[in-house]
C-alpha cells in the first residue's frame, strides 16, 4: 500500500490505483466523460484533469488514467488552474460537437464562455471521440467491430473499411454507453439498424406473437454462452408476451377478495384461505 494526499486528505491505496479511484474513495467528485469503471481508462475527454505535486514537480494530469505508484504524492482536484484546464478541454470538445447536450449542460454549469468558440467541424458531429463504444465492444463484448481510424481532424470511430461488418451483433452496448447519443439504434421493418456502423440486422422473433425481439446472431451467441455455462435455453418471448404469461400465471392464484369499489381492501393475512367459491358467486 502507498499513502497519498488528495485535497489535503490522506488516503492509503494499492500502488497503481488511479487518482480518480483514490479520490472517489474519499468521496471527492471529479468530472468524467470518457471513463467507465468496467473499462480500461483511455484519457480522451480531459475533463478529469487534476493538479499533481510529485516532490515539488507540478503538473496537470488526467485523474482517470494516472496511476499512483509511490507514497508522498499530493493531488489537488479543484484549484483555479485545474478548472481553467478543464474548461479549456470542454471548449475543445464543444468546438468539435457544439450541439451535444451533455457538453452544453456542462458549459452552463461551469460558466464556460462559448462566444469565441471556433468550430473545428461542420457543427453536426455528435461523436466526441471518447472511445467508450470502442472499448466496450472490444473489452466486454469481445468483438472489435469498431475502432478509431484516421488522425487529426479526420479521426473518427468506424467499422473496418467503413462498411457493414458481421462482427457487429447489434448488442447496442456501444449506444448504451455513448455519452452523447451519437449512436442511434432503430428498428425498421423488423430489422435492427445502427446507421453509424452500417449495421442492418435480422432479428429473431417472439415465439408467441412474432414480434422482433433481439438480433438473431446475438441470440445465437447468447444461447451458446448459456449452454457452455450449463444454463438451459429459454423460449424467446418479447417483453409484452412475457408480461402476459406472468399475468396468466398470476390469475391462476386464488381470486383476491375485494370490498366495495370505493374502499381499498384490507390486506388479507397470508394464512387466511380466500373463499374462492363465494367470490365467484358474487356473494
Ligand atoms: S460514438 Fe459515442 S461512445 Fe463512441 S467515441 Fe463517439 S461519443 Fe464516444
Ligand atoms: S474521464 Fe479522464 S480523460 Fe475523460
Number of domains into which the chain is organized: 3
**Residue nearest to ligand 1 atom 6, measured at CA:** 127
**Distance (Å, rounded) from C-alpha 247 to C-alpha 19?**
50
Residue 253: what pLDDT?
A: 62
How high is the pLDDT of residue 193? 98
Mean pLDDT, rounded, for 81-87: 98
C-alpha cell recorded at residue 195: 446507421
Q: What average pLDDT does the segment 44-68 reach?
A: 97
Q: Please tell me if the CB atom of residue 180 comes closer than 6 angstroms to any atom of ligand 1.
A: yes
Ligand nearest to the CA of 135: 1
Residues contacting residue 18 through CB under 8 Å, at least 6 positions apart: 41, 63, 64, 65, 66, 67, 68
Mean pLDDT score across all residues of the chain:
89
C-alpha distance from residue 94 to each of 63, 114, 123, 175 (Å): 21, 8, 9, 20
Distance from residue 49's CA to the centre of ligand 2 (Å): 8
Q: Which of 44, 60, 66, 75 should be mutated for ligand 2, with most atoms under 8 A from CB?
A: 44
Q: Is the pTM of this model over 0.75?
A: yes
More confident position, 255 or 227: 227
**Residue 11 domain-assigned?**
yes
Q: Is 33 in the pocket of ligand 1 (CB under 6 A)?
A: no
Residue 256 domain flag: no
Residues 112 and 173 in one domain: no
Looking at all shown ligands, the one closest to residue 90's CA atom is 2
Q: Which residue has the higher pLDDT, 185 or 246?
A: 185
pLDDT of residue 121: 83
Residue-range definition of the domain harbouring residue 122: 1-126
Q: Which atom of ligand 1 is nearest to the CA of 34?
A: 8
The Å distance, Cα 196 to ligand 2 centre, comes to 23
pLDDT score at 88: 97
Residues 113 and 24 in one domain: yes
Atom of ligand 1 nearest to the CA of 131: 5
Pairing of strands 67-68, 74-76: unpaired
Ligand closest to 34 (CA) is 2
Residue 145 pLDDT > 60, yes or no?
yes
Residue 254 pLDDT exceeds 70: no
Closest ligand, as measured to the CA of 155: 1
Task: Evaluate whether residue 221 is within a structural domain.
Answer: yes
Ligand 2 centroid from CA 66, angstroms: 10
Co-location of 23 and 39 in the same domain = yes
Give the C-alpha separation, 65 to 151, whole Å: 22
Residue 200 has pLDDT above 70, yes or no: yes
Cα(239)–Cα(233) distance, integer angstroms: 17
The residue out of 173, 201, 229 marking a domain boundary is 201
Residues with CB under 6 A from ligand 2: 32-35, 43-48, 62, 64
Is the confidence at residue 108, as pLDDT, over 50? yes
Which atom, in ligand 1's list, is nearest to the CA of 180? 7
**Do 28 and 118 sit in the same domain of this protein?**
yes
**pLDDT, average across residues 12-25:** 98
**Average of per-residue pLDDT across 19-25:** 98
Confidence of residue 248 (pLDDT cuts 50, 70, 90): confident
Answer yes or no: do 113 and 216 share one domain.
no
Question: Of the candidates 126, 148, 164, which is a domain's last residue?
Answer: 126
243 part of a folded domain:
yes
Residues 115 and 14 reside in one and the same domain: yes
Which band of pLDDT confidence, cut at 50, 70 and 90, is reported for residue 266? very low
User: Residue 264, CB half-sphere, CA atoms under 13 Å: how many?
Assistant: 1
Amino acid at each position: 500500500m502507498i499513502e497519498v494526499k488528495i485535497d489535503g486528505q490522506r488516503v492509503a491505496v494499492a500502488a497503481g490505483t488511479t487518482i480518480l479511484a483514490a479520490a472517489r474513495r474519499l468521496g471527492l467528485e471529479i468530472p468524467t466523460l470518457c471513463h467507465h469503471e468496467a473499462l480500461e481508462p483511455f484519457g480522451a475527454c480531459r475533463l478529469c484533469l487534476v493538479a499533481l505535486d510529485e516532490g515539488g514537480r507540478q503538473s496537470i494530469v488526467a485523474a482517470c488514467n494516472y496511476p499512483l505508484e509511490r507514497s508522498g504524492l499530493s493531488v489537488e482536484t479543484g484549484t483555479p488552474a485545474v478548472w481553467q484546464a478543464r474548461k479549456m478541454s470542454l471548449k475543445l470538445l464543444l468546438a468539435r460537437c457544439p450541439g451535444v447536450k451533455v457538453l452544453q449542460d456542462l458549459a452552463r454549469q461551469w460558466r464556460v464562455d462559448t462566444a469565441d468558440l471556433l468550430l473545428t467541424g461542420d457543427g453536426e458531429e455528435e461523436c466526441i471521440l471518447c472511445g467508450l463504444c470502442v472499448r466496450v465492444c472490444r473489452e466486454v463484448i469481445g468483438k472489435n467491430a469498431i475502432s478509431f481510424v484516421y488522425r487529426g481532424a479526420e479521426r473518427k470511430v468506424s467499422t473496418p473499411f467503413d462498411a457493414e461488418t458481421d462482427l457487429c451483433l447489434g448488442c447496442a452496448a456501444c449506444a448504451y454507453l455513448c455519452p452523447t447519443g451519437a449512436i442511434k439504434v432503430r428498428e425498421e421493418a423488423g430489422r435492427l439498424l445502427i446507421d453509424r456502423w452500417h449495421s442492418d440486422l435480422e432479428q429473431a422473433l417472439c415465439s408467441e406473437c412474432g414480434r422482433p425481439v433481439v438480433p438473431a446472431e446475438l441470440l445465437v451467441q447468447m444461447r451458446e454462452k448459456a449452454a457452455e455455462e450449463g444454463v438451459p435455453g429459454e423460449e424467446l418471448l418479447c417483453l409484452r408476451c412475457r408480461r402476459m404469461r406472468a399475468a396468466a400465471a398470476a390469475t391462476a392464484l386464488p381470486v383476491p377478495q375485494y370490498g366495495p369499489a370505493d374502499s381499498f381492501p384490507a390486506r388479507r393475512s397470508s394464512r387466511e384461505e380466500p373463499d374462492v367459491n363465494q367470490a365467484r358467486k358474487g356473494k
